[in-house]
Amino acid sequence: MEWIVLIPDIEGSLETRMRVRETHIKDMLRHIDSGLFQMGGGTLAGNTVDGSAIIARAKSEADIMSVLKTDIYARSGVWNLEKIKFIPVGTLIPERPFHC
């Protein structure tokens, strides 16, 4: 099953987010390579990052949460995991390469 995962940042954590961003990206790429995460990026409020959005492929919310809890953004106080939203998605159109 696919999931849209929305994780808001804790207010005032932007400086920490930027400081640990490189570690976060390395970890996320590992999970993309494993197939757990399909893509991810920062959510925006105007021009400011205020959270994260991830497309995941997993059996359950718990499977995703167990990985997110170990991410540097969770461990360093960037993500507010208490306000995370998991939206299950019934995929109709399978992924295919994007061509310009």
CATH of the domain at 32: 3.30.70.1060
Q: What is the pLDDT of residues 50-62, one digit of tens each?
A: 999 999 999 999 9
* Domain count within the chain: 1
| Three-state DSSP class for residue 74 | helix
Is residue 57 in some structural domain? yes
Rounded to two decimals, the pTM is: 0.90
Is residue 81 in some structural domain? yes
Is residue 32 in some structural domain? yes
How confident is the model over 38-63, as a mean pLDDT? 97
Is residue 31 in some structural domain? yes
Q: The tokens of 42 are what?
A: 């920062």
Is residue 12 in some structural domain? yes
**68-79 core/surface letters (b: 16 or more CB in 10 A; e: else):** beebbbbebebb
Handedness of CA 68, 72, 74, 78 (dihedral sign): negative
Domain that holds residue 75: 2-89
Is residue 54 in some structural domain? yes
> Is the pLDDT confidence value at 94 over 70?
no
Is residue 28 in some structural domain? yes
Q: The tokens of 98 are what?
A: 């994007």
